[in-house]
Amino acid sequence: SLSLEPVRPLLPPSSFTEALVLTLIFCAFGAGQMTLGGLAFVVREWLQLVLSVPFFVFFLSSRWLVESARWLIITNKQDQGLKKLRRVAHINGMKNAGEALNMEVLRSSMQEELEAAEKTSGFDLFRTPNMRKRTLLLFFARFANTIPFYGLLVNLQHFGSNIFLLQVIFGALIVSARCLSLWTLNRIGRRLTQTFNTFLLGLSILANTFVPPEMQALRVTLACVGMSSSAAVSSSFSIHFVELIPTVLRYKSLWMLHQGPHRTSR
């Protein structure tokens, strides 16, 4: 996200809007899993070729994507970056964006952001007791969700013979769970949503260890509950993380929170 304070008032101020955008982005993962699983279920021959064709289609559509305003500004293309910001502000309904966004304001904001970035480091995440506690808890929450998620995803053969159909089912559950978590996040809060879904995830995995292999239906049901809970935790964690970590430390903490659990899961 572009953390320019004069630009932020031009964007929708509602936290629900930010949560909605993040949820829709994460839903694309589940939709892609459903699509690939469905293709693998229907087409068994030339599977690699069939799965690679959509990437070429998406590549052709990339010419219509809008360039990042942040990248344009960083690469000293400030005029183009300013046009992109004004366009985004106009789409968001800010009719007076031309007056609020000008080159002087943009340069001043860039200077403030660069100075703030130079004064911070990764050690600032552990400098104060409150930030240290917050960082460690976020790291633990991310770790506790990533390991079970990939554990379920790479062991589909233990839940039934048709792993392609399970991929489609899991993809549909991921989309549904993330949409449902958006509602619970705004109703009961971020912390309670993560706590409940993490507890449900652990409970489903623990219960599955005591179910004999002959009871495939029950094993698949518990796995679906675990996958849905994991998807809900992932969405709520990302939304909660953006609100807890200061902007100047966000990118540094993202690397730690994502690389650690992902490398451990391998």
Cβ-based neighbour number of residue 229 at 10 Å: 26
**Helix %, strand %, coil % of the chain (to 5):** 80, 0, 20
pLDDT at position 236 = 86
φ, ψ for residue 68, nearest 5 deg: -65, 125
CB-based contact 231:30 (threshold 8 Å) = yes
Evaluate whether 226 touches 155 at the Cβ level (below 8 Å).
no
> In 3-state terms, what secondary structure has residue 102?
coil
Residue with tokens 């995830």: 201
Q: Which segments of the chain have a pLDDT < 70?
A: 1-15, 95, 97-99, 113-120, 155-161, 252, 255-266
How far apart are alpha carbons 126 and 248 in whole angstroms? 14
- Can you tell me the distance from the alpha carbon of 134 to that of 245, in angstroms, rounded to the nearest whole number? 8
Q: Is 130 exposed, middle or buried (0-12, 13-18, 19+ CB in 10 A)?
A: exposed
pLDDT at site 139: 85
Comparing C-alpha atoms, which of 223, 94, 221 is closest to residue 155? 223
Question: What pLDDT does 161 receive?
Answer: 64
Nearest CA-CA partner of 257 in 120, 124, 144: 144
Q: Which two tokens stand for residue 96?
A: 């007076």
Query: CB neighbours (10 Å) of residue 25?
Result: 12
Per-residue confidence (pLDDT) for residue 200, from 0 to 100: 92
- Neighbour count for residue 107 (Cβ, 10 Å): 12
CA 189 – CA 187 distance, rounded (Å): 6
What integer pLDDT is reported at residue 196 of this predicted model?
A: 92
**Long-range interactions of 14-23: CB distance < 8 A, separation 24+:** 15/243, 16/186, 18/239, 18/242, 19/182, 19/185, 19/186, 19/239, 20/182, 22/235, 22/238, 22/239, 22/242, 23/178, 23/179, 23/181, 23/182, 23/235, 23/239
Closest CA to 170 of 95, 93, 224, 242: 224
